[in-house]
Each structure stands twice: as structure tokens, then as C-alpha cells.
Chains A and B, each alone.
Chain A
């Protein structure tokens, strides 16, 4: 699972690429959190899921974990460009009420 980040003013964009399952999430958590910790002065973090070919409920757990971390810093979170399969799980979980799809 690849992750790239791009800072745009007070916004931080994450571009995830690969299959987000239990195996991928284990190392992705630490890498994502290190990037969040290294970026002061953020108002929002946007997770772009266009490159996520597959996601199961581990992805929901991963996103919720990042949401909790960002909330402690007072940073909002949003999601963009999930594929049809990911969107189905995200909708089912109700997670868009916490992190809107933009």
C-alpha cells in the first residue's frame, strides 16, 4: 500500500494506492500518523481514495483511527474519489457523517 501526501496551504492531501485490508493497514497507520504529526497548522486533511482498488472494513477502522487522531488536533477530515466498492462500505458504515465525501 502506497501513501503520498501533498500540502496545499492549511490542507493536507493523502493519496492512497493499493488494496486496503488488514495486511496493508498495519504499516499504513504508522506512516500516515507520522505525516500528520509532521504538519502543524492544518485545518483539514483530505484522503483521496482514487487509487484504492479494494477496501474492506479494516479500511473503515483505519479511517476512524485517523479521524480520532486528527480530532485531537482540531483538524477536520474529508474523503474524496472512492471507487464503487469502497463507497458502498463507507456508506454502510455511516462514516460520511464524520468525514464528508467532497
Chain B
């Protein structure tokens, strides 16, 4: 088992840095390029949510905690931002709270599809926590069914 924690400000320039750090941490588990791409995309979606939705008007801290165990990578992306009022609605494909800003509403759908396990908890005014697990050597799509 290995662990790491990364804490950075909610600036969009940190997206590339955050997803690449998580990908580098996962390398000892021998992921395929496709699996690594899935992880980077899911992390990028979670971090983008923090920047765009959790902290729309301020820079604040985003924390990514990772743990490897066996062939699995567990990732927790958390913020202390404004939170999600209605999680079920937020998880609906193509639903976005910012329709005028060219948002696809696909972020949570991508996280759910690309990772083997996905769970989000949130409290309005307190923050949001996204937990995801990727198992290397298996297919996320098969598990999601």
C-alpha cells in the first residue's frame, strides 16, 4: 500500500499538474495507456468541478488523496466550497448549472464511466468530496453494468 496527498489552489493552470501527479503515482501499478488516460480524465473532471463550481469567485484549496492497494487506485478529491444542493440532479448526464458557459454537463458521467467505483458526498456551504476507484487490469465499463 502507498499513499500520497496533494493540496493546491483552485486555479485552472493547476489542472494539468494535478492529473499528471495522480497518473505518475499510479504508474507502479502498471496501468495501460488507456487506463491511465481514464484516470487523468476523471481527475481533470473532478478538479474542474472544484474550480468552476465549488469556488466560483475565489481561489481556495483543493485536496487530492490517493491510496494504492493491490491492483486498485483510490482517489479522493475534496474541496470546502459551496457544495451541491441536489446530487441526483448533478449526476444527470448533460445537466449543468451554467448553461450559458459552454459547459457540457458530462463531468460526473465521465467520472462514473471511466472509473470502477464512484461516490460523491456534499453539504451545501461546507464542500464536496468525490471518491473514485480504478482497478487496473479490468474494464470500468464491465463493472459499471
A21 in the interface (beta carbon within 8 A): yes
On whether the beta carbons of A84 and B104 are closer than 8 Å, the reply is no
Q: Chain B nearest CB: distance from A79 CB in Å?
A: 15
Chain B residues 31-61 with CB under 8 Å of chain A are 33-34, 37-38, 40-41, 44-45, 48, 51-52
Q: Which residues of A contact B33 (CB under 8 A)?
A: 84
On whether the beta carbons of A60 and B44 are closer than 8 Å, the reply is no
A side interface size, CB within 8 A: 23
A29 in the interface (beta carbon within 8 A): yes
Q: Which residues of B contact A26 (CB under 8 A)?
A: 12
A92 in the interface (beta carbon within 8 A): yes
Contact partner of B48 (CB less than 8 A), chosen from A54, A55, A56, is A56
On whether the beta carbons of B110 and A89 are closer than 8 Å, the reply is yes
Given contacts A22-B12, A23-B12, A85-B37, contact A92 B107 (CB under 8 A): no
Contact partner of A65 (CB less than 8 A), chosen from B37, B45, B102, B109, is B102
**A-contact 0/1 string along B102-124, CB 8 Å cutoff:** 11111101100110000000000
On whether the beta carbons of B15 and A21 are closer than 8 Å, the reply is yes
Given contacts A93-B104, A93-B106, contact A56 B12 (CB under 8 A): no
CA distance A29 to B105 in the complex (A): 18
CA distance A23 to B51 in the complex (A): 10
On whether the beta carbons of B44 and A64 are closer than 8 Å, the reply is no
Q: Which residues of B contact A22 (CB under 8 A)?
A: 12, 15, 48, 51-52
CA distance A19 to B43 in the complex (A): 14
Q: Which residues of B contact A84 (CB under 8 A)?
A: 33-34, 37
> What are 20 A-to-B residue pairs whose CB atoms are below 8 Å?
A19-B16, A21-B12, A22-B15, A22-B52, A23-B15, A54-B16, A54-B19, A54-B41, A55-B41, A56-B110, A57-B45, A57-B105, A57-B107, A58-B48, A60-B104, A62-B102, A85-B37, A88-B38, A89-B106, A92-B106
A-B contact sample (12 more), CB < 8 A, given A22-B15, A25-B102, A58-B48: A19-B16, A21-B12, A21-B48, A22-B12, A54-B37, A54-B44, A57-B104, A57-B106, A58-B104, A61-B102, A64-B102, A85-B40
